[in-house]
Amino acid sequence: MNDNVKNWLSFHGKGGPYFGIVVINFVLTVITFGLYYPWAKARTREYLWNETEFRESRFIFHGTGKEMFKGFVVAYALLIGTYTFYFWMITSTDLTFIASVGFGVLFLIMLFWFIPFAIFSSWRYRVSRTSWRGIYFSFSGRFSEYYKIYLKFFFISFVTFGLGISWFRVALQKYLISHTHIGSLDLGFKGKGEDLFMINFLGLILSYITIGLYIPVFTKNRFNFTVDNTLISDDISTLPLKSHLTGGKMFGIMIGNFFLLLFTLGLAFPFTYMRYMKALFDYVELPEGINYDNIEQDENYYNKATGDELLDIMDIDLDF
């Protein structure tokens, strides 16, 4: 492989094939009363991963429907539990007080345990099921540590009436990213809460003033914040990634997508999604000075990936 291969990611997904996957997934999910969903999710991810390229090699998603089915069952058990609980609540009307206390407890459990657990294990699962050139990604974080950070920053956000939420997000992001490894390479994160706070603060104010015209810039800023603050290191150096995404490019994509969706009553969503993914990934540059052609497999990756199976089952998509 020659040395002038660029260190940029590129995304090759196309609306047509993606729409086809959506259709096959849709039909199979409906005729199996939803049971096919985890397999459908695996197919979608395989496609997204496969269509992302770095130095002429594609990424692979190794997760299977069978694995994700476990998390799916747990999520559904929770859902059905909530339904049952609700029915019990409205039918035992003489127990209103106990019922509302019970509901409150359920809510707190969701907030304080389920959400961080789901975010954590979802990240862990995705990372450990990703490879590039046969080199596995791995994750060395522990839920107990992550959970402490979650509680601490949750408390801070709470007493600051939500102002601390940027620091909250950064702390969680930092933990997840900096415990992620690509074979012998390590990732890190140098973002600061105050920077994200400024992005969010300006974003909210300016989006409001410009009646939404600032939203593409806001989206771009948030994406670039994550990319530009992500570090990659080998034995010798630690260097940041670089996003070349500009507000103008993002604006073009978002306006185009808006009209595409509008004129097709939303049916063009596979096409707009591919456009959006392309916009994000095509402008990410990994630093020069890291030898990507000689990453070594971390022989412990397999242990790391399946060390705590319980944590792997909860793979739920959460926008975070």
Partner 1 sequence: MLYTGNYFDGKSSVPRPVSLSITEDNLTLYIEEEGKLINWSLINCNIKSLNSSEKIIVSHGKKTNETLEFKETEFPEIAERLLNRESLLSQSYQILKRYNAFQIFAVGLTIIIGSIYIYTQYLSPWIGTQAIKLIPQNVEVKIGDAIIKNFDIEDANSDMTRYLNEFMTACGYQSDYPIHINYIDDEVVNAFALPGGHIIVHQGLIDIMDCSDQLAGLLGHELAHINQRHSMKTLAQSLSSYMVFSVLTGDVAGASSIFLDQASQMNQLANSRSHEKEADIVGHQYMINNKLDPVGLRDLLVKLQQENSMTFDSVEYNLDRGILEFMRTHPSSEKRIEFLDKQATQIAVDQELNNKLDAIWQKLKS
Phi then psi for residue 243, to 5 deg, are -100, 130
Candidate residues 3, 4, 91, 235; the one interacting with partner 1 per rule CB under 8 A: 91
Which of positions 19-78 make contact with partner 1 (CB under 8 A)? Answer: 19-24, 26-27, 29-31, 33-34, 37, 41, 43, 46-47, 50-51, 53, 56-58, 60, 62, 75-76
Q: Minimum distance between the CB of residue 178 and partner 1, rounded to whole angstroms?
A: 21
Q: Minimum distance between the CB of residue 3 and partner 1, rounded to whole angstroms?
A: 12
CB 250 within 8 A of CB 217: yes
Residues 6+ apart with CB under 8 A from 248: none
Q: Minimum distance between the CB of residue 187 and partner 1, rounded to whole angstroms?
A: 16
For partner 1, which is the closer residue by CB, 37 or 218? 37
Candidate residues 175, 225, 271, 283; the one interacting with partner 1 per rule CB under 8 A: 271
Q: Minimum distance between the CB of residue 298 and partner 1, rounded to whole angstroms?
A: 11
Site size toward partner 1, by CB under 8 A: 60
Buried b / exposed e along 216-235 (16+ C-beta atoms within 10 A): bbbbbbebbbbbbbbbbebe
Alpha-carbon distance values, 278 to 14, 64, 227, 284 (Å): 9, 25, 15, 10
Does residue 295 bind partner 1 (CB under 8 A)? Answer: yes
For partner 1, what does the binding mask look like between residues 218 and 257, x meaning CB under 8 A?
Answer: ----------------------------------------
For partner 1, which is the closer residue by CB, 13 or 164? 13
For partner 1, which is the closer residue by CB, 284 or 314? 314
242: left (phi over 0), alpha (psi -120 to 50) or beta: beta
Q: Minimum distance between the CB of residue 61 and partner 1, rounded to whole angstroms?
A: 9
Does residue 1 bind partner 1 (CB under 8 A)? Answer: yes
**Count of Cβ atoms closer than 10 Å to residue 168 Cβ:** 22
For partner 1, which is the closer residue by CB, 131 or 166? 131
Residues 6+ apart with CB under 8 A from 137: 127, 128, 130, 131, 180, 181, 182, 183, 301
For partner 1, which is the closer residue by CB, 208 or 302? 302
Which of positions 92-151 make contact with partner 1 (CB under 8 A)? Answer: 92-93, 131-136
Pairing of strands 135-139, 57-61: unpaired
| Chain CA centroid to CA 190, Å | 18
Q: Minimum distance between the CB of residue 313 and partner 1, rounded to whole angstroms?
A: 14
CA distance 214 to 251: 9
Does residue 204 bind partner 1 (CB under 8 A)? Answer: no
Residues 6+ apart with CB under 8 A from 36: 25, 28, 29, 65
CA distance 77 to 279: 37
For helices 37-50 and 15-31, give the axis angle rounded to 10 degrees.
170
For partner 1, which is the closer residue by CB, 122 or 229? 122
Q: Which residues lie near partner 1 (CB under 8 A)?
A: 1, 12, 14-17, 19-24, 26-27, 29-31, 33-34, 37, 41, 43, 46-47, 50-51, 53, 56-58, 60, 62, 75-76, 79, 82-83, 86-87, 90-93, 131-136, 183, 267, 271, 292-297, 316-317
